[in-house]
Chains A and B, each alone.
Chain A
Amino acid sequence: DAGVIQSPRHEVTEMGQEVTLRCKPISGHDYLFWYRQTMMRGLELLIYFNNNVPIDDSGMPEDRFSAKMPNASFSTLKIQPSEPRDSAVYFCASSLAVQGVGYTFGSGTRLTVV
């Protein structure tokens, strides 16, 4: 298995532009999570899905952020419009619906908004 695949690895965009981050979870995993890593807040959960359905999006910072999971093998995190304070590393992770089993993370997307 190739693991959790995220694209792009790096994204540099201008303030106000739309940014779309992509994630392919591990086949068979029921849960998908989007995390953001910053120096100030560490790893913070933005949103997670169970069987493609959004369960908890309370971590999404603002309406500018949206996430979708149209099928079991693909998810997107969109920021529109982007702002410099959105600059961070965004991680996608997936896991099985087995209690206590940890997540498998992708390599992350480093987003820089200038």
Chain B
Amino acid sequence: DQQVKQNSPSLSVQEGRISILNCDYTNSMFDYFLWYKKYPAEGPTFLISISSIKDKNEDGRFTVFLNKSAKHLSLHIVPSQPGDSAVYFCAAIDNNAGNMLTFGGGTRLRVKP
């Protein structure tokens, strides 16, 4: 039973355009959400996060949107750059249940020059 799902295993975008990565969750107790980025042969690295009390958080080219009623969040990258090509993992945490992140299956983003 996957509590965090990324239904698109891959995404291809032209350089300069917007990349939108989606994530759905089922556990309404999740109160904090994070996105991680992973390059080949490296561990995932933290990218951006959002608390459940917010609906948007922006950091440079990266923006995360949260729709609690739909149990959906998305990561927008604009403009996309070839260096953004990586696997992106969505993760969620229930802070009242300990310090344990639940990850989605990942989306491989390819930004074409």
Contact = CB atoms under 8 A, between A and B. Distances in A.
Q: Are A and B bound to each other?
A: yes
B28 interface: no
Interface string B79-103: 0000000000101010100111111
A75 interface: no
Contact of A108 (B6, B43, B98): B43
B70 interface: no
Contact of A103 (B6, B46, B95, B98): B46
Interface string A14-52: 000000000000000001010100000111110010100
Contacts of A101: 99
A104 B105 CA distance: 18
Interface string A71-103: 000000000000000000001010101111111
Contact of B106 (A4, A43, A108): A43
Interface residues of A, number: 28
Interface stretch (B11-19, B34-42, B59-67): B34-42
Contacts of A102: 34, 36, 46, 49, 91, 101
Please classify how large the interface on chain B is, using the bins under 10, 10 to 19, 20 to 34, 35 or more. 20 to 34
B43 A105 contact: yes
Given A100-B93, A102-B34, A42 B43 contact: no
B89 A107 contact: no
A91 B44 CA distance: 9
Contacts of B6: 42
Contacts of A48: 100
Contact of B43 (A55, A93, A98): A93
A31 B93 CA distance: 14
A97 B99 contact: yes
A24 B100 CA distance: 19
Given A100-B95, A103-B101, 7 more contacts: A35-B103, A50-B98, A95-B99, A100-B32, A100-B49, A104-B46, A105-B43
Interface of A: 4, 31, 33, 35, 41-45, 48, 50, 55-56, 91, 93, 95, 97-108
